[in-house]
Structure 1
Amino acid sequence: MLLAVAADAPARRDSAIEILSEYADEVEEIEGTLRDGDWVDFDPLQPGKTIG
């Protein structure tokens, strides 16, 4: 299962990572572009940076 969270500030990024880390087996960080609610440059074959 994949869950994406858009964080527009460093503090929100940190909060999202903290919350997700409590429940997820793995949390990754990937930068991308959201346009009209769609992640337009997401490539599921590219690995993200594992957090924690």
Structure 2
Amino acid sequence: MKVRDIAPFGVRMEPSLKEALKKSAKDEGRSLNSEIIQRLIKSLKADGILSA
């Protein structure tokens, strides 16, 4: 999938949550967007909603 095919999606969140995600992203060497995507994928796989 090409980046231009992915529509932007705004998310409202508490500033403290955003800061925690930013710190985690920095620690993992990822962008904030990539960190959020990786965490969503991990959560959906754990719930059996997304195949492993």
Considering the TM-score relative to the shorter chain, is it more than 0.5?
A: no
User: Relative CO higher for 1 or 2, CA cutoff 8 Å, sep ≥ 6?
Assistant: 1
- Identify, as 1 or 2, the structure richer in strand: 1
Instruction: Mark the structure with the bigger radius of gyration.
Output: 2
**TM-score where L is the length of structure 1:** 0.32
